[in-house]
Amino acid sequence: MVTVEQAEELILNNAGDYGAEIILFNESLGRVLAETIKADRDLPPFNRVSMDGIAIKFADFEQGIKTFKIIGIQAAGDAPVNATQPGECVEIMTGAALPGAVDTVIRYEDLEISDGKATLQIGDIKKGQNIHFRGADRREGDIVLTPGRVITPAVISMVASVGETELRVKRKPRVVIVSSGDELVDVAAKPSPYQIRRSNNYMVKAVLAGLGIDAAMVHIPDEPEAIKSTLQQCLVNFDVLLLSGGISMGKFDYIPQVLKDLQFEQIFHKVQQRPGKPFWFGKHENGVVVFAFPGNPVATFMCTQRYFIPWLNKTLGAESKPAVYAALNEDIAFEPALQYFLQVKLSFGDDGRLFATPVEGNGSGDFANLADTDAFMELPLNKNEFKKGEVYRVWMFNQQ
Amino acid sequence: MVTVEQAEELILNNAGDYGAEIILFNESLGRVLAETIKADRDLPPFNRVSMDGIAIKFADFEQGIKTFKIIGIQAAGDAPVNATQPGECVEIMTGAALPGAVDTVIRYEDLEISDGKATLQIGDIKKGQNIHFRGADRREGDIVLTPGRVITPAVISMVASVGETELRVKRKPRVVIVSSGDELVDVAAKPSPYQIRRSNNYMVKAVLAGLGIDAAMVHIPDEPEAIKSTLQQCLVNFDVLLLSGGISMGKFDYIPQVLKDLQFEQIFHKVQQRPGKPFWFGKHENGVVVFAFPGNPVATFMCTQRYFIPWLNKTLGAESKPAVYAALNEDIAFEPALQYFLQVKLSFGDDGRLFATPVEGNGSGDFANLADTDAFMELPLNKNEFKKGEVYRVWMFNQQ
- pLDDT tens readout for residues B298-322: 999 999 999 999 999 999 999 888 8
Residue A207 near residue A304 (C-beta atoms within 8 A): yes
In b/e form, how buried is each residue of A70-96, taking b as 16+ CB within 10 angstroms?
bbeebbbbbebbbbeeebbbbbbbbbb
How far the first Cα of chain A sits from its last, in Å, is 32
Closest CB to A163: pick one of B73, B197, B206: B197
| CA B350 – CA A274 distance, rounded (Å) | 23
CA A56 to the chain's CA centroid: 46
Cis before B322? omega within 30: no
* Predicted local distance difference test score (pLDDT) of residue A377: 95
* Predicted local distance difference test score (pLDDT) of residue B15: 97
* Predicted local distance difference test score (pLDDT) of residue B319: 87
CA distance B233 to chain A (A): 25
DSSP string, A128-168: TTTEE-TTSSB-TT-EEE-TT-B--HHHHHHHHHTT--EEE
Considering only the top CATH level, what class is B4-18+172-315? alpha beta
Within 10 angstroms of residue B325's Cβ, the number of other Cβ atoms is 20
Residue B366 binned pLDDT confidence (cut-offs 50, 70, 90): low
The yes-or-no verdict on residue B41 having pLDDT over 80 is yes
- Average pLDDT of chain B? 94
Q: Pseudo-torsion of CA B288, B294, B296, B300, nearest 10°?
A: -40
The yes-or-no verdict on residue A399 having pLDDT over 80 is no
CA distance A296 to chain B (A): 9
Residue A16 near residue A315 (C-beta atoms within 8 A): yes
| Beta carbons of A248 and B351 less than 8 Å apart | no
* Predicted local distance difference test score (pLDDT) of residue B399: 62
Residue B37 phi/psi, 5-degree rounding, is: -110, 130
Chain A positions in Cβ-Cβ contact with residue B144 (cut-off 8 Å) = 368
The yes-or-no verdict on residue A20 having pLDDT over 60 is yes
Residue B363 binned pLDDT confidence (cut-offs 50, 70, 90): low
| Beta carbons of B354 and A352 less than 8 Å apart | yes
In b/e form, how buried is each residue of B206-242, taking b as 16+ CB within 10 angstroms?
bbbbbbbbebebbbbbbeeeebbebbeebbeebbbbb
- At A162-182, the pLDDT tens digits run 999 999 999 999 999 999 988
Chain A positions in Cβ-Cβ contact with residue B371 (cut-off 8 Å) = 145, 149, 152, 154-155, 157-158
In the chain, the amino acid numbered B378 is: E
* Predicted local distance difference test score (pLDDT) of residue B285: 94
Rounded average pLDDT over A36-54: 95
List where CATH 2.40.340.10 sits in chain A.
324-396
Sign of the Cα torsion B199, B204, B205, B209 reads positive
Rounded average pLDDT over B151-173: 96
List where CATH 3.40.980.10 sits in chain B.
4-18+172-315
> Are β-strands B339-348 and B354-358 bridged in parallel, bridged antiparallel, or unpaired?
antiparallel
> Are β-strands B354-358 and B324-328 bridged in parallel, bridged antiparallel, or unpaired?
parallel
| CA A397 – CA B18 distance, rounded (Å) | 29
- Average pLDDT of chain A? 94
In the chain, the amino acid numbered B45 is: P
* Predicted local distance difference test score (pLDDT) of residue A263: 95
List where CATH 3.90.105.10 sits in chain B.
20-42+152-170
The yes-or-no verdict on residue A362 having pLDDT over 60 is no
Tell me which residue of B304, B285, B380 sits closest to A350, measured CA to CA: B380
* Predicted local distance difference test score (pLDDT) of residue B160: 96
CATH homologous superfamily of domain A20-42+146-170? Molybdopterin biosynthesis moea protein, domain 2 (3.90.105.10)
The yes-or-no verdict on residue B50 having pLDDT over 60 is yes
| CA A75 – CA A94 distance, rounded (Å) | 8
Closest CB to A367: pick one of B157, B165, B182: B157
Name the architecture of domain A324-396.
Beta Barrel (2.40)
List where CATH 2.170.190.11 sits in chain A.
48-132
CA distance A285 to chain B (A): 31
* Predicted local distance difference test score (pLDDT) of residue B365: 52
Tell me which residue of B75, B21, B289, B9 sits closest to B175, measured CA to CA: B289
Name the architecture of domain B20-42+152-170.
Alpha-Beta Complex (3.90)
Residue A235 near residue A262 (C-beta atoms within 8 A): yes
The yes-or-no verdict on residue A364 having pLDDT over 80 is no
- From B50, which residue of chain A is nearest by alpha-carbon distance? A365
* Predicted local distance difference test score (pLDDT) of residue A100: 94
The yes-or-no verdict on residue B369 having pLDDT over 90 is no
Residue A233 near residue A177 (C-beta atoms within 8 A): no
The CA–CA distances, whole Å, from B237 to A308, B25, B217 equal: 43, 28, 12
CA distance A235 to chain B (A): 25
Q: Any idea what DSSP says for residue B138?
A: B
The yes-or-no verdict on residue A400 having pLDDT over 60 is no
CA distance A42 to chain B (A): 11
ipTM: 0.94
Q: How many helices (H) and strands (E) does chain A have?
A: 8, 28
The yes-or-no verdict on residue B362 having pLDDT over 80 is no
Rounded average pLDDT over A50-58: 95
* Predicted local distance difference test score (pLDDT) of residue B250: 84
The yes-or-no verdict on residue B92 having pLDDT over 70 is yes
Chain B positions in Cβ-Cβ contact with residue A196 (cut-off 8 Å) = 44-45, 95, 161
CA Rg, chain B, in Å? 31
Residue B105 binned pLDDT confidence (cut-offs 50, 70, 90): very high
Q: What are the residues whose beta carbons fall under 8 Å from the beta carbon of B13, sequence distance 6 or more?
A: none
Q: Pseudo-torsion of CA B15, B21, B26, B31, nearest 10°?
A: 0
> Does the structural domain A48-132 have CATH classification 2.170.190.11?
yes
* Predicted local distance difference test score (pLDDT) of residue A11: 98
| CA B335 – CA B115 distance, rounded (Å) | 86
- At A375-387, the pLDDT tens digits run 999 999 989 999 9
| Beta carbons of B158 and A367 less than 8 Å apart | yes
Percent pLDDT > 90 in chain A is: 86
List where CATH 3.90.105.10 sits in chain A.
20-42+146-170
Mutation site for A-interface testing, chosen from B161, B211, B304 by largest number of A Cβ within 10 Å: B161
Residue B286 near residue B335 (C-beta atoms within 8 A): no
Least confident residue range of A351-360, A390-399, B32-41, B391-400: B391-400
* Predicted local distance difference test score (pLDDT) of residue A24: 98
| CA B135 – CA B158 distance, rounded (Å) | 15
State the Cα angle at B115 between B111 and B120, rounded to 5°.
20
- At A285-341, the pLDDT tens digits run 999 999 999 988 999 999 999 999 999 999 999 988 889 999 999 999 988 899 999
- At A65-98, the pLDDT tens digits run 999 999 999 999 999 999 999 999 999 999 999 9
* Predicted local distance difference test score (pLDDT) of residue A322: 84
The yes-or-no verdict on residue A350 having pLDDT over 60 is yes
